[in-house]
Amino acid sequence: MLDELNIKNAALIKRAEIKFNNGLNVITGETGAGKSMLIGSLMFALGGRASKDFIREGEDKTVVEAVFTDISKNVTECAEGMGIDCTDEELILQRTISREGRTSARVNGTPVTAAMLKELASKLLDIHSQHESQSLLNPAKHIDILDKFCGDDIEELKTELTLLISDYKSILMQLKALSGNDDERQRRLELIDYKINDIESAGLKEGEEESLLSRKKVLALSERLIKQCRQCLELLYYGNSDSASAVDKVGDAIKICGSMSASDGSLSDIFDEIYSAHTSLENASHALKNYLESISADPNEINAIEERLDLIYSLKKKYGSTVEEIIKSKNEAVKERDFLLNSGELRNKLNLRKSEITDKIKSVCSKISLIRKETALLLQKRIDDELHDLEMKNSLFKIDISQKGTFNNKGWDNVEFLISTNAGESLKPLAKTASGGEMSRVMLSLKTVISGTESIGTFIFDEIDTGISGKTASKVAEKMAYISGRQQIICITHLPQIASIADSNMLIEKDVEDNSTVTTVKSISDKEKVYEILRLMGSNESSAAVKAAEEMIDYSNQKKNELRMK
């Protein structure tokens, strides 16, 4: 449920800390007081769009924080999948927009994107307004609404269908690759063979280019390296006419120290160290001689390396940016050649597989359609009952399900909601029949039916009562009271019938402070609720009017308790 909504510097709202409760939370206020700002702020916190005009004049940024508690398992799993810590079993969504238009968002302190906020929001609450109810006018959404009532069985079938369609599309792509006449296929084979031979004749090896470049660098410096290597060998091993080599000198030292250690055994360790140094010097000298031979070897080697690198660069221009990519390209070409060479046999196998999968898809689509039709019969009866209870006594609601010529991940059904609002009228699409007030009642009927199975914890109704009054308004209020016994409801309304049946009431007011307009939101006491009911009724504050408002509240509470006992 939505526990708190904290707003700072959003439009006319300077600061608001709003605490919501379980059950039915009703927000009222004069037209223009800022009720739309409240919903706009919540939508912003949930990932909705906002411009810098959303920021209160004179301020640098807007900050909105929404706190959700008692979060469901699927919300927790979704959040944890985003790397959000949910150990406290609550979600704190905070979003900021600066005067420069930059936005940032965090959930439980973890930075998130607007898309991640929207995904979480879809599992946390459901917002409905007079505008939102217009989604019922779009037949494309009707199939999703119906499927919500169909339970887990249809979702499992739709998952199976998605996998089958994925296989089906893969087969179509393979068959497309095999399409064309024999001449086209032969030309493609010739191009592939040329590519394979071109790469294979080069005899490329992974890491070869790097090795050649390294060797080329060594050879380019060979003259200097040879000179330095010979100097090293002269000092270490060969010596010259002016001086003996290090190896010879250490050899002389070994003889002298050996004689000394024969006289004094304590010098044996020193003798061993000198002997070891002599061995190391000889080993290093042999290694240097081998290195000198390697860089002195073939004077034409650098030309051979250049030719090899030119060949590699030529192949890279045609087949890939690295030797590894060229080799990979060749391997893929081999697979394509085998594919084309066996195209006739493969085409037959693919067509057989396509036929088998098509039969499975039809079977799953048929099962999905059967579940929808069975559910539709139950659902339309329940919605009819709800509509009759909402003073649409002569209405008739029907869910029309027909089979289209194709299939997709939802099956092969077309689903459309039809309604007749007056006796004797034929059933017609909602868009051609229902008024705004009737649309609101259809939507409320759907929510009443679905509330028992809906995993979303909070419903928000933003003035969906537009166009209704009198007895119908009382019925709408009772439906909201019934639903709010299972899910939290936050409702913005102008109807006294809804305000009187609320579990908690809040008032939005607009005032001027220091020559600046400020919108405030506050909870009102039971006594203040009476006078707010009077305002909504357009009544004076006479004792008789006050008594009538109190009686309305008492009756509403009694009715609410009866409904929630069912």
Identify the band that residue 112 occupies on the pLDDT scale cut at 50, 70 and 90. Answer: very high
Is pLDDT at 505 greater than 70 in this prediction? Answer: yes
User: What integer pLDDT is reported at residue 358 of this predicted model?
Assistant: 95
Helix, strand or coil for residue 138?
coil
Residue 62 pairs in a beta bridge with: 97
User: What integer pLDDT is reported at residue 455 of this predicted model?
Assistant: 65
Task: Tell me which of 467 and 175 has the higher pLDDT.
Answer: 175
**Cα–Cα dist 566/562, whole Å:** 7
- HSE at residue 391, side-chain half, CA atoms within 13 A, is 15
Task: Tell me which of 6 and 391 has the higher pLDDT.
Answer: 6
**Is 156 part of any domain?**
no
Could you report the per-residue pLDDT of 300-341, keeping only the tens digit for each? 777 888 888 899 999 999 998 888 999 999 999 998 888 777
Longest CA–CA separation in the chain, Å:
133
Question: Do the Cβ atoms of 267 and 274 come closer than 8 Å?
Answer: no
**For the sheet containing 428-429, what is the strand order?**
396-408, 411-420, 428-429
* Three-point CA angle 76, 82, 86, nearest 5°: 35
Q: For residue 54, what are its two tokens?
A: 């959303």
Quick one: CA torsion of 51, 57, 59, 61, rounded to 10 degrees? Answer: -10
Average pLDDT estimate for 180-201: 84
**Is 258 part of any domain?**
yes
Q: How many distinct structural domains can be found in the chain?
A: 2
**Is 272 part of any domain?**
yes
Give burial (CB, 10 Å; 0-12/13-18/19+) of 24: buried
Task: Tell me which of 504 and 337 has the higher pLDDT.
Answer: 504
| Cβ neighbours around 91 below 10 Å, total | 21
Q: What are phi and psi of 429, to 5 degrees?
A: -55, 145
Q: Which residue has the tokens 């290090």?
A: 246
Average pLDDT estimate for 12-36: 89
Average pLDDT estimate for 221-226: 77
Same domain, 111 and 229: no
The last residue of a domain, from among 334, 369, 399: 334
C-alpha closest to that of 133 among 442, 483, 449? 442
E strand spans, 196-266: none
Could you report the per-residue pLDDT of 380-426, keeping only the tens digit for each? 998 888 888 888 888 889 999 999 989 999 999 999 999 888 888 88
**Is 79 part of any domain?**
yes
Identify the band that residue 453 occupies on the pLDDT scale cut at 50, 70 and 90. Answer: low
The DSSP call for residue 454 is: -
Looking at residue 542, which CATH number applies to its domain? 3.40.50.300
Give the percent of the chain with pLDDT over 70: 95
| Cβ neighbours around 220 below 10 Å, total | 12
Q: What average pLDDT does the chain have?
A: 86
Question: Do the Cβ atoms of 523 and 503 come closer than 8 Å?
Answer: no
Distances (CA, A) of 267 to 272, 277, 278: 9, 16, 17
Is pLDDT at 540 greater than 90 in this prediction? Answer: no
Task: Tell me which of 343 and 338 has the higher pLDDT.
Answer: 338
Is pLDDT at 296 greater than 60 in this prediction? Answer: no
Q: Which residue has the tokens 């409702």?
A: 491
**Cα–Cα dist 416/561, whole Å:** 36
User: What integer pLDDT is reported at residue 92 of this predicted model?
Assistant: 93
Q: For residue 83, what are its two tokens?
A: 């790397």
In this structure, the strands spanning 90-98 and 24-29 are: unpaired
Same domain, 120 and 6: yes
User: What integer pLDDT is reported at residue 472 of this predicted model?
Assistant: 84
Average pLDDT estimate for 347-370: 93
Q: Which residue has the tokens 């579990």?
A: 503
C-alpha closest to that of 464 among 63, 67, 26? 26
The last residue of a domain, from among 334, 351, 368: 334
**pTM of the predicted model, to two decimals?**
0.62
Residue 521 pairs in a beta bridge with: 508
Average pLDDT estimate for 454-481: 81
Identify the band that residue 223 occupies on the pLDDT scale cut at 50, 70 and 90. Answer: confident
Ordered DSSP codes for 78-124: HHHHTT---TTSEEEEEEEEETTS-EEEEETTEE--HHHHHHHHHHH
Is pLDDT at 132 greater than 80 in this prediction? Answer: no
**Is 202 part of any domain?**
no
Task: Tell me which of 424 and 195 has the higher pLDDT.
Answer: 195
Host domain of residue 265: 208-334
E strand spans, 393-442: 396-408, 411-420, 428-429
Helix, strand or coil for residue 282?
helix
**For the sheet containing 61-69, what is the strand order?**
13-19, 2-10, 61-69, 90-98, 103-107, 110-111
- Residue 205 C-alpha from the chain's centroid: 42
Task: Tell me which of 80 and 293 has the higher pLDDT.
Answer: 80
**Cα–Cα dist 429/416, whole Å:** 7
Identify the band that residue 434 occupies on the pLDDT scale cut at 50, 70 and 90. Answer: low
Same domain, 126 and 214: no
Same domain, 316 and 226: yes
Identify the band that residue 181 occupies on the pLDDT scale cut at 50, 70 and 90. Answer: low
Distances (CA, A) of 392 to 135, 384, 429: 20, 9, 17
**Cα–Cα dist 160/508, whole Å:** 50
The DSSP call for residue 47 is: T
Helical axes 222-233 vs 208-220, angle rounded to 10°: 70
**Is 171 part of any domain?**
no
Same domain, 219 and 126: no
Question: Do the Cβ atoms of 186 and 194 come closer than 8 Å?
Answer: no
The last residue of a domain, from among 273, 307, 334: 334
Q: For residue 53, what are its two tokens?
A: 């005009």
Q: For residues 392-407, b (16+ Cβ closer than 10 Å) or e, as one string?
A: beebbbbbebeeeeeb
**Is 414 part of any domain?**
no
Could you report the per-residue pLDDT of 64-87, keeping only the tens digit for each? 999 999 888 888 888 989 999 887
Question: Do the Cβ atoms of 409 and 421 come closer than 8 Å?
Answer: no
Is pLDDT at 293 greater than 70 in this prediction? Answer: yes
**Is 379 part of any domain?**
no
Same domain, 102 and 213: no
Could you report the per-residue pLDDT of 541-561, keeping only the tens digit for each? 888 999 999 999 999 999 999
Side chain identity at residue 561, one-letter code = N
Residue 179 pairs in a beta bridge with: none
Identify the band that residue 197 occupies on the pLDDT scale cut at 50, 70 and 90. Answer: very high
